[in-house]
A = this chain, B = another copy of it.
């Protein structure tokens, strides 16, 4: 089994530096982080996978809660990778993973409730995070139940929440800085739903980068499905902001939607810079291919599983000191959608 020491050795850094790079400590410069992430990929390393002695004599089960199903979304791709990480980690430590989902919030709550009653399940992982989620509110009220939320670093919720997340403020900030370095100045943040914690935090990161460069922030809300409306929204935005050529876009799917709008309006794509998030298979399939921020969803899964399993242990038993809020790394994958800025003649 690959350990953090192997990763450190290949990257030519100390094990503690490698570990800090993985948890995205701001003490580590980006070149070092890149070397460590390259080594992680080359060795197929999974953090915490074997580090813990979590197996117990009890039959243990972790409940995984999927969001209310939507049909038109690429989020499924991301959730599937998180879940594979969770299942792999849990299986390796003798834990069973049980799933709950539904077509409505009530159906999800009903299913979580019966899972908890039947299986006496007390440990859950939410693979999603949103404001005022009734499912989470329901679980909060249950005695002895503990849960880990993927995608919700603590400032959104209570301080004592267990969470696993990317540093989404840094993610938004770095994506914006990437466009600034390419020469773009008028940059817009494109989103679909600011009630989603992840989208809201990336927006904060974008605002931070713009402010530090004395540039005005602007935002554009787009639709996942309504194509004609997107064209109108974009036209309306461009009339007000004709100089805007850079776009920080909340996920790969909306990035492709933007490219489709450019197509319909016969805009020259080479004059625009688009950077998106999630680095799903869509980023490679877009035309031009999308520069996108890789978020290591498999690690989001393995780390949330490790955290959920550690909640079963008494503190004295813990062979590995768990943090309450775990941060997973990210990195920008440069592709063709971010050419150097060229001012119009």
Contacts and interface: CB of A to CB of B under 8 A. Distances in A.
A282 interface: yes
Interface string A82-117: 011001100110101111111100010011001100
> For the side of the interface on A, what is the size category?
35 or more
Given A84-B69, A87-B66, A111-B91, A253 B98 contact: no
Interface string A170-205: 000000000000000000000000000000000000
Interface of A: 44, 59, 61, 66, 69, 72-74, 76-77, 79-81, 83-84, 87-88, 91-92, 94, 96-103, 107, 110-111, 114-115, 118-119, 253, 256, 259-260, 263, 281-282, 284-285, 287
Given A81-B76, A98-B97, A115-B96, A253 B282 contact: no
Specify how many copies of this chain sit in the oligomer: 2
Contacts of A111: 87, 91-92
A253 B285 contact: yes
A99 B84 CA distance: 9
A99 B97 contact: yes
A118 B119 CA distance: 14
Given A74-B77, A96-B115, A99-B99, 13 more contacts: A44-B103, A61-B98, A76-B77, A83-B99, A87-B99, A87-B100, A87-B101, A87-B111, A88-B102, A88-B103, A91-B111, A259-B287, A260-B285
Contacts of A253: 281, 285
Contacts of A77: 74, 76-77, 80
A66 B79 contact: no
Given A99-B87, A285-B253, A287-B287, A94 B114 contact: yes
